[in-house]
Copies of this chain bind each other. A is one copy, B any other.
Amino acid sequence: MGAHGIVLFAHGARDARWAEPFERLSARLAELRGASAGPVSLAFLELMTPDLPGAVAGQVAAGASVITVVPVFFGQGGHVRRDLPAILEQCRSANPSVEIRCATAVGEDADVIEAIAAYCLRQALV
């Protein structure tokens, strides 16, 4: 059995500095998983590269047999509800022997919301 990869799927932006938190997230996740667990990659919907098919192809080439895509979006808007499923179908068609899963957007997680609320609370104490 091959490795289980994780692709962090984000929106993308014109400003290169926009990607910095995603790069930190990717590095931290790779550290938490350990190198032997499988690859961690970033992918973007638009304005930045790689796109999701490119990131998936990279992980398949590196030996991933299962890939979990995690949408790093707060809300389940049109990008997560419409654009992403269409791109996932494209990825599955291109890689029929690979199991490509998709998680719920990170903003739907109670612990993520809790961490953001705690951050906001601290900002009003300064």
A interface with B by C-beta (< 8 Å): 4, 6, 8, 10, 13-15, 17-22, 24-25, 28-29, 32-33, 37-38, 68, 70, 72, 74-78, 81, 101, 103, 105-109, 111-121, 123-124, 126
Determine chain A's interface SS by DSSP, over half rule: helix
A-B contact pairs, 22 of them (CB 8 A): A10-B74, A13-B75, A13-B78, A14-B78, A15-B78, A18-B74, A18-B78, A19-B75, A21-B75, A24-B113, A25-B113, A25-B116, A28-B117, A29-B121, A32-B121, A72-B116, A101-B126, A109-B119, A111-B118, A112-B116, A114-B115, A115-B116
Copies in the complex: 2
Partner of A29, one of B4, B28, B76, B120: B120
Asked if A118 meets B32 with Cβ closer than 8 Å, knowing A15-B81, A21-B107, A76-B15, the reply is: yes
Q: CA A30 – CA B121 in complex, angstroms? A: 9
Central interface residue in A14, A105, A108, A120, by most chain B CB within 10 Å: A120
